[in-house]
Amino acid sequence: MKAKFALGIVAGIVILQSGCTHIQSLPMPAEVQNQNKEGVALYFGDQPHAKVKTLIETKEVRVRVGRDPDSKEPMCNVALGKALEELRVYARTQHANAVVNVATRFQRRESSSPTEFTCGLSTAGATLAVRGDVVQLDTE
């Protein structure tokens, strides 16, 4: 009986660890570095931008994408693209023209770099959160 119990615990640990998430800092994809897309500019961390006319709110978008065996795109890049698109869509609905102080996060590890982003990667997929201040920049 004790041997079966111990074997069950070991099997459970192996199963849990096989799907472990690894936190990674990855290079920012070139297409993300296009700051002004679809009328909403993105500024990571302390990147320079026009004066903020109106702070609408700070918004966080969390995304998880499952592994797609047919995709050639790295899963973390797919997750980042999806999260940034959701953030831009939200900003447009709020009549904002930019999101500033953009940062990426997985669990407690965060990056506000314009050249790197943080993502959690497992055998099942990729997860991250993107947060930024949704604003109206002064266009004058």
Domains annotated for the chain, with CATH where assigned, are: 21-137 (3.30.110.70)
**Site of tokens 């795109």:** 73
Per-residue pLDDT tens over the stretch 21-65 = 788 888 888 877 666 667 899 999 989 999 999 999 999 999 999
The pTM of the full predicted model, rounded to 2 decimals, is 0.80
Query: In the chain, pLDDT over 90 holds for what percent of residues?
Result: 53
Question: At residue 6, does pLDDT exceed 80?
Answer: no
Closest CA to 52 of 133, 130, 111: 133
Pick left, alpha or beta for residue 121 (phi over 0 → left; psi -120 to 50 → alpha; otherwise beta).
beta
Question: At residue 131, does pLDDT exceed 50?
Answer: yes
Question: At residue 98, does pLDDT exceed 80?
Answer: yes
Q: What is the per-residue pLDDT for 124?
A: 87
Q: Which residues in 3-26 are b (16+ Cβ under 10 Å) and which e? A: eeeeeeeeeeeeeeeeeebeebeb
Q: What phi and psi values does residue 92 have, to the nearest 5 degrees?
A: -60, -40
Mean pLDDT over the full length of the chain:
84
Question: At residue 107, does pLDDT exceed 50?
Answer: yes
Question: At residue 74, does pLDDT exceed 90?
Answer: no
Q: What is the per-residue pLDDT for 18?
A: 43
Q: What is the per-residue pLDDT for 90?
A: 96
Query: Which is more confident, 1 or 137?
Result: 137
The span from the CA of 98 to the CA of 105, in Å, is 20
Q: What is the per-residue pLDDT for 56?
A: 96
